Amino acid sequence: MMAVAHRVIMDRTGWDKRIRRAGELSDRESSAHEVLRFYRHVLEAQQRIYQDISAQPPASWASDSSLRQRLDPDFAMRWLPMVLDVVRQNGPAKLASEAERVKVAGSTHQRQLLDDYPNREETRDEAGHFFARVVWQPIAEFLAAQYRIGTTGSEARCPVCGARPQLAVLRPEGDGGKRHLQCSFCLTEWEFRRVLCPACAEVDYAKLPRYSPEELKAVRVEACDTCKCYLKSFDLTVDGLLIPEVDEVATIALDMWAIEQGYWKIRTNVTGF
């Protein structure tokens, strides 16, 4: 039986929940306070972009093309200056300095950043990719909600846009939970087998260790000893208050621990962890 990849269309309430969760976790998680404070500003900027699209989607998006073919750099350019200003005013010093450099570089350079990102999003530590990702993500999320694509439970990449997963989610179903992966670009979720590495397709349970800290029963590192990749998993059957894309940023201490153990994250989140 085929499962269906899905995204619930976000409204103002949904964005407000993300923003509120980032604020709550910032007050509670001292180790991630600064990154969450900044991430809250990023979410507020993305909310503005999403609301603008929702109010009046560009006519060019009304087509049967793939999600990536429908990405409109002209629309994205309307919002990049705002994102740069948010980062200059609220971001860490190094990123704020980079935002200033991109702003001064002018519109031709800025347009090139936006043009390049959808085809090169998985390049690590590429200068300017942070700003392009912040702008494109809510646009991709809006577009993704319009697709319903069947999945088999073993697709390692997003069935809507083709990007790699950023995290895993265990959502309540029946008497247990069903594992989903969440896309790092358009935030689509799709069902994925419980015992299967999304990076190399390893199926040997003994080679797929899971690590969970005592203080975070609902969050764990799901690793693979074959390819040495990992992602974090968020169990909503244990803690229904989790908002995975926000809690993923709040748990950077787990990322640092996983890297120290010799694992590499399949896809970093928007803050670079």
List the chain domain ranges. Answer: 3-144, 152-265
Q: Given pLDDT bands bounded at 50, 70 and 90, which one contains residue 247?
A: very high
Give residue 223's pLDDT: 98
Cβ(117)–Cβ(160) under 8 Å? no
Q: What is the pLDDT of residues 190-202, one digit of tens each?
A: 999 999 999 999 9
CATH for the 152-265 domain, from 3.90.330.10, 3.40.470.10, 2.20.25.190, 3.90.1670.10: 3.90.1670.10
Give residue 58's pLDDT: 74
Cβ(18)–Cβ(43) under 8 Å? yes
Q: What is the pLDDT of residues 116-147, one digit of tens each?
A: 998 877 665 566 789 999 999 999 999 999 89
In this structure, of 86-100, 138-152, 239-253, the range with the lowest mean pLDDT score is 138-152
Helices (DSSP H) in the chain: which residue ranges? 12-28, 33-55, 73-77, 80-90, 93-105, 107-120, 129-144, 244-250, 252-260
pLDDT at 227 > cutoff 60: yes
pLDDT at 221 > cutoff 90: yes
Q: Given pLDDT bands bounded at 50, 70 and 90, which one contains residue 17?
A: very high
pLDDT average, residue stretch 169-190: 93
SS3 sequence of 141-159? HHHHCCCCCEECCCCCCCC
In this structure, of 85-99, 115-129, 253-267, the range with the lowest mean pLDDT score is 115-129
